[in-house]
Structure 1
Amino acid sequence: MYDFQKTQLEFIEHIKDPDNKPFKHPVESRRMDIYRDLFFNNIKGFLSSGFPVLESLYNEEQWNSLARQFFATHDCRSPYFTDISKEFVEYLSNEYELQAHDPIFMKELAHYEWMELAVSIRKQTQKWDASKTVSNVQMSQLASVVSYQFPVHQISQDYQPTEPSEAIYLVIHRDSDDKVDFTLITAMTAHLLLTIENNEQLSIDSLNTMMIESLPQLDAEQVIQGIKQIVEQMIAQEILVPYSISE
């Protein structure tokens, strides 16, 4: 049994890193080629579909090398294919060292593209209160507030910033038609949304009080009117969900 397990581990190591981990057992090279290509191309396919903008910034050799390094060195904790993109983001954030040809915003762009994927497959259990008077709101389970140092929502082959900017705040969200989009927001709107997200069963009156206390430099009535406008906009975009307190 030990020999069999040892052979299995050697086979896995070779499949992940064939250049540095030779497989010394007598297996027909044509068959090994099939295994090597099948596993690697599956992983690279998930990365290409999950990070199309990031991939577009590399030539084929560079992208293959990055995918191979991830495949060979990262120990994925999840057995689900849908989590490969998340594992890749964690790999870039915690293990990967930027190379000379990597864009400086690489890690943030990867996180942004992963967030779009994550929001697209999330499940929602919230119920929508259709009443005209909104007295309570909560953050949609299909929306996330994120912040970056680079304008990741604008990056393309034609636009690649080389220096960080002021903090960029975005809400990545999915609507009832399953369309994933982003909304560029201000720091105040981000603070408001995070306040709602971090406080369950939050009434508008309580939200007003909390925001007035956190913004003492502003007139209270000005804050209340600003909250009203933001909440209405966010509900229209299905970023916030109005609900009945009886639920």
Structure 2
Amino acid sequence: MNSSPDSRVLQQRFTTHLRTGVRTTIPGVAPDRLAHYRHAIFHMVKDTMESAYPVTCANIPRRKWDHMVKTFFARHACTAHQVWKLPLEFYTYAVENSWDEVYDVPYLSDLLAFEWAEIEVFNMEDVAPAAFVATGDWRETPLVLNPEYRLLSFKYPVHQEAKRARLLKQQGAWFVLLHREPVTGHVQFTGLSPWLAFVTEQLAAGITVKDILEYAPQLGITVTVELEADTVAFLEDMQRRQFVFGFRP
């Protein structure tokens, strides 16, 4: 009877060593070669994370960041078949394992979510917009928005601040809109007030500005001439920035 390990066992030994660094023996493979393989694979993963999350990496002390990547690589069974999607699993793993608390970085989930959203919007499949025309009534005509976007909510203003001390002093309700320009593919992000985030959500559902303003008092919002004018001015600006495409025919 052949007592040597079968190929599956050897594969498991090999992958465990790659992920954890725990020493093992593979028939026909020199130990120094195993170390070389682990070094190459680990640094590929590390480089992928640092390319995906440059602000997060720069914001967190190096030792913490390196420990995060090593922990993820050692303990998480990755399922992504495309390298560019691997950072999503890193973000998900961080949230599921409460890394905000574990590593004492309260804004970590927000920061990872923001940087991942930029990657996701940049790489998302093309989505054809509804038919639209260039002119209409800002208040009464339903608008056609760029469908290639994400609207995010955060506890910390990670889209506009990088320093820990300042971030921790600004905990609250923050909203960010990311959208992809249809020609260049460039991803823009815009910080929104809670009101404008609500307006954007409603417009995406086909509600008109007029109906949104009429509903506002039920949210405890006083509608003024200034609020209406500021809302329309925001939409005109977002048309110039290619988030509002136009008006429904």
User: Normalised by the size of structure 1, how large is the TM-score?
Assistant: 0.82
Residue 142 (structure 1) aligns with: 148
Q: Percent identity?
A: 18
RMSD: 2.8
Distance 1:112 1:4 in 2: 42
Paired position in structure 2 for 1:170: 176
Aligned counterpart, 1:235: 239
1:161 partner SS: helix
Q: Counterpart of 1:73?
A: 75
SS of equivalent to 1:129: coil
Q: Residue 112 of structure 2 aligns with which residue? A: 110
Q: What 5-or-longer segments of structure 1 have no aligned partner?
A: none
Q: TM-score, normalised by structure 2?
A: 0.82
Alignment-derived partner of residue 182 in structure 1:
189
Instruction: Give the whole-Å Cα distance in 2 for the aligned partners of 1:160 and 1:10.
Output: 46
Q: Deviations over 1:111-159 (max 9, x none)?
A: 1111111122223332463532263323322222111111101333586
| Residue 220 of structure 1: how far off its partner (Å) | 8.3
State the number of aligned residues. 238
Matches within 5 A, 1:5-16: 5-16=8-19
Q: Is the 8 A contact 2:52 2:119 kept in 1?
A: yes
Distance in 1 (CA, whole Å) between partners of 2:144 and 2:50 is: 34
Q: Structure 1, residues 42-75: CA drift from partner, whole Å, max 9, x if none?
A: 1111100011111113344432221111111112
Aligned to 2:217: 215
- From 87, 91, 99, give the equivalent of 2:89: 87
Match of 2:38 in 1: 36
Spell out, residue by residue over 1:59-116, the C-alpha distance to the aligned partner (whole angstroms, 9 max, x if none): 4443222111111111223211111111111011112444675422111111111111
> How many angstroms apart in 2 are the aligned matches of 1:78 and 1:39?
15
3-state SS of paired residue (2:176): strand
Gaps in structure 2 of 5+ consecutive residues = none
3-state SS in 2 of match to 1:104: coil
